[in-house]
Structures are given as C-alpha cells and as structure tokens.
Structure 1
Amino acid sequence: MSRSPRIAFLASTAANAQQALATLVERHGQCRPEEAEILCALGGDGFMLQTLHRHGGLGKPVYGMKLGTVGFLMNHYHEDDLLERLAAAEPTTLRPLEMVAQTESGTSIGSLAYNEVSLLRQTRQAAHIRIGLNGQTRLDELICDGVMVATPAGSTAYNFSAHGPILPLGSNTIALTPIAAFRPRRWRGAILKADTEVRFEVLDPYKRPVSVTADSHETRDVVEVVIRESETRTVTLLFDPEHNLEERILSEQFVV
C-alpha cells in the first residue's frame, strides 16, 4: 500500500488486550469502524465472533490478533510490523448460517452464526427432536442432549468436541452433528450441502424444553428452528500467509 490503511482497533475487556489496544492506537492512530478500511480485533475467538456479529454488516475485512485463551480465528500477536503483515495478509471469505427460531410464546427470533447453531436440552429431560432437510423428514425422532449445525470454520470447535467432522474451507458443506445421542444410538450425524435447509422440530417442548444458541446468542423454549446458509452475508478474515485458516483446519485433521 502506498499509504497506511485506516484501521479500527477493537479489543476485548481482558487486561492484556486493553494494553495492546493502547499501544497500537498510539502507534497507528484510531478510526471508527464505519470509517476504517480494516478492522483489527484483539482478543480470542469469542471476541472475534463478537466483532463479526457487531460489525460484519460493514463489509470491512477483519484481521485478528490472539490475546485470549483460544485463537483459532486469530493471528499471532506482535506489536511490530503490523502494516507489513496487513499488506501481505491473505483473505478468507466466510458465509454464516441464518437461524430463525420459533418459541413457545409465538415469538420469531432470527440470528446469524459464523461457527454453529446448537440446540440443547434445558432440563434433566432428554430432548426429542425431529429433523427435516429441504422439507423432507429425515429423522422422525432424535433423543439426545442436543444437536447442532456447524460451518467449516466452526467445525473444529464445539462440533469437533461432539465428535463431528472437520470440514475443509471452500467445501460448500455444513455438518449436522448430534450431541450425546441416545436414540438412534449409532447415528453420528451427516455432512450436508451448504445450501440445505435444516429444520428442527422440538417434540413435547413443555415437558422437554430446548434452547438454541447461534454462536453466543441464546434463545430459550424453542419449538422449531430453521437453519440455512446465508445467501447475502459474507465476512472477510485476513490471515498471515504462514498461519492461514485453511491450513490450520487441514492440520487439525492430523493431530494425534
């Protein structure tokens, strides 16, 4: 770049992130997110997701630096050579899931998820959930602690902990993964085309209440949840060439 880009530095509330924020603003100045060319997120993956939810609609690329406990979506933190790193960074485009949930009270609630949408039982009673794909019932009754739909970027997170598959970026797929399935006991989930509409119907929601969480946004007492990949919303993350997200997702499949 012939000139320094306009950067909006955003930081989590953690002390080290706030210290880094002060240092970087002193060196490079500060812009409002609406006026910036690049957003620089300082924190962990949770703060990166918060940044995408809060500012993803601006269409600005986001470069994250790890100052938290988990940083799969972040680059390593260094105070020096930031401008050179931004100039050499490689873009990765993510497309979130769109979720629409219907609650017992008749309220309709929508949200985006860049990692996953997960349904979880609210009480000691196991959830009973019917699963439909593109308008066709595929599983009449899943008895479980929960079930989720994960994006490729989110497939290494909660999805992988629940024994779901790791999905390569650019594979145009999503993961449908049960959480502690009791019946059918041997069902391990499915890998679906990204444009599949997934519909969850909660059976007996009064006796067996279920909540849904899109990344960190929770809605309780749902009776139906519809999930599909967004057709209009995308976000761009920037990664150092030696630390790009595609390589990290691939490497996760060979961790023993």
Structure 2
Amino acid sequence: MSLSAHLKIRFVAAGTEPAQAALAELVARYGQVSRDVAEVIVALGGDGLMLQTLHERAGLPIYGMNCGTIGFLMNDYAVEGLHARVAAAEEAVLNPLAMRAGTEDGQVHDALAINDVSLLRAGPQAAKLRISVNGVVRMDELVCDGAIVCTPAGSTAYNYSAHGPILPIGSDVLALTAVAAFRPRRWRGAIVPKSATVRFDVLEPEKRPVMADADGRSVRPVLWVETRSEPTISHRILFETGHGLGERLMREQFV
C-alpha cells in the first residue's frame, strides 16, 4: 500500500447495534471525513456490508472490521492504531462479474457481482438450463435447482456450499457449479477462463420458472442470462498484513 499514516478515513456501518456502537467509538477517536475527500473507507459490519460498500465505492480501498456474524472479507475489530494498520494493509484487487439477464417482458437487466451470479429455480419444479461458453453449447440440458458462476473471491461462499471448488486469488478462471444437479446426475460443474462469456438459456420457462441473482440483486423470471468478468472495474479490499485474501482462501481448504 502507498497510503500515508495520516489517512482521510470515511467510516460506514451496518444498522446493527454492535456496528453502530463501533461507528460512534471510531468517529469519536478518529473523526469523520466526507465522501468526496476520503482516501479509504472503513466498513463496520459483516460481509454483506462489505459487498454493498464495494459496489457503492468502486475504486476506493475498503478496510473492513467485523462487527457482524460472517466476516470472511473483514479484519478483526480493534480501535487502537487504526491509521497504521490501514496504511500497512495488503491490498487485493478484484474484478466483478457482469450479469445481463433477459426477462419474459422483453426487458434486459444489467448488474454486477463481486462474489457470484446464480440462477435458481423459482417454482416447485427443477430448472432446465442450456449452458453455452463463448457461443458454443457445452450442455444441452442441465436439470437442477440452480447454477452458479463465481469469482475466486466468491468461491468460498455459495459456490463452496454447493460443493464447488475454492479458486486461488489472482487465478484467471471462474467456477461454474451446479446446485443439486439431477441430470446429468452428480455433475458438479466446470472451470472456465476468466475471459469467457457463460450463457444460460432457460428451457420450459413457464413450467419451470427461474430467477437470477447478482450479489443480492435479483431478476425474475428470466429467459436467459449471460455473465462474464468485467476487467474495466476494479474493487480494492484491504487486509491485515499476513492475513490477505490469498491466505484466507488457502486456510479455508484445510479446515
């Protein structure tokens, strides 16, 4: 990091009582600057707040402190020595996924996802999806509860719960993972290049409706979804020295 030891910090916090108490304590200790002059954002909460802050403040480095329940993207909460810790932090630069989804009414919806883009069945019956990569049909029919395309940063989230692989940070690949695949039975997914465009076409959409989601931004019902990495947008996350994102992803594989 090239940040100075006298940083202009903007604090943001989740609406929970612990996060608001932390906000009051830190603002009283270090002050608060406006958005337009901030050099770094300190986010107080959990991973949900971190993702929200990254989406809202693309380009600015974000240093998170865990005041929530899940804090994979957060550092431990501490009041003392904040300027020095932030200035010495390791930086991870992430490119989001760009999702484009077409709905039954003819509209096209665009959204960005730092973790993953997922398709999920929106009714009682399993979804039927056709999967194409870079314009080539790779699977004519996947019968499943859903499918996920994730970045390395998001590979320990929903993707991992669906038995997808953990991807090393900095790897130029995306994971494509099935959720409860029925046909082909036990198909777990694929690894595709980061530059690839993955397209899902929904088969039998009236009988088997499907929704799409990009980091909590949902679209329904969808007829098709395309997703790809967006290299023109960079998100910057700061981690305590020795506890960077690469180390966290490595540790997750040995717990």
Could you tell me the TM-score, scaled by structure 1's length? Answer: 0.97
- Runs of 5+ unmatched residues, structure 2: none
For residue 45 of structure 1, what is the aligned residue in structure 2? Answer: 47
Amino acid at match of 1:249: L
The code of the aligned residue for 2:109 comes to: I
SS class of match (1:20): helix
Report the Cα distance in structure 2 between the residues aligned to 1:76 and 1:245, rounded to whole angstroms: 14
For 1:206-217, list aligned pairs within 5 A.
206-217=206-217
Equivalence for 2:110: 110
- Worse-matched range after superposition: 1-10 or 83-92: 1-10
- Map Cα deviations across residues 123-181 of structure 1 (whole Å, 9 max, x no partner): 11110000000000000000000001010000001000000000000111110000000
- Tell me what 1:169 maps to: 169
**RMSD of aligned C-alpha atoms?**
1.0
| Cα deviation, residue 33, structure 1 | 2.4
Percent identity, please. 55
- 8 Å Cα contact 2:126-2:144 kept in structure 1: yes
Please say if residues 4 and 87 of structure 2, whose CA atoms lie closer than 8 Å, have aligned partners that are also in contact: no
Residue 24 (1) aligns with residue 21 (2): no
Which residue matches 1:63? 63
Deviation at 1:3, TM superposition (A): 5.3
Alpha-carbon deviation of 1:244?
Answer: 1.1
Question: 2:96 & 2:246 partners in 1: Cα distance?
Answer: 16
Q: Are 1:139 and 2:139 matched, yes or no?
A: yes
Q: Does 1:221 align with 2:202?
A: no
Write out aligned runs for 1:1-256 (5 A).
4-56=6-58, 59-255=59-255
Asked if the contact 2:61–2:237 (Cα under 8 Å) also holds between the matched residues in 1, the reply is: yes
**Offset, 1:34:** 2.6
For the residue of structure 1 that corresponds to 2:74, the secondary structure is coil
Decide whether the 8 Å contact of 1:33 with 1:55 is kept in 2.
Answer: no
Matched letter for residue 21 of structure 2:
Q
Q: CA deviation at 1:187?
A: 1.4
Residue 73 of structure 1 aligns with an amino acid whose one-letter code is L
**What is the CA–CA distance in structure 1 between the aligned matches of 2:4 and 2:182, rounded to whole Å?**
60
1:69 Cα offset (Å):
0.5
Q: Distance in 1 between matches of 2:51 and 2:178?
A: 23
Measure the CA separation in 2 of the matches of 1:2 and 1:126.
53
Output the CA distance in 1 between the equivalents of 2:186 and 2:76: 40
Counterpart-to-counterpart distance in 2, 1:32 and 1:213: 32
Deviation, structure 1 residue 186: 2.9
Contact 2:5 2:84 (C-alpha < 8 Å) held by counterparts: no
Shift of 1:2: 5.7
Deviation at 1:31, TM superposition (A): 1.5
Please give the secondary structure, in 2, of the residue aligned with 1:159: helix
Equivalent AA in structure 1 for residue 211 of structure 2? S
Paired amino acid for 2:143: I
Shift of 1:32: 2.1
Change (3 A) 1:153 1:3: closer
Q: Where has structure 1 moved over 2 Å in runs of 4 or more?
A: none
Q: How many residues align?
A: 253
TM-score by length of 2: 0.97
Cα separation, partners in 2 of 1:89 and 1:3, compared to 1, 3 Å: closer
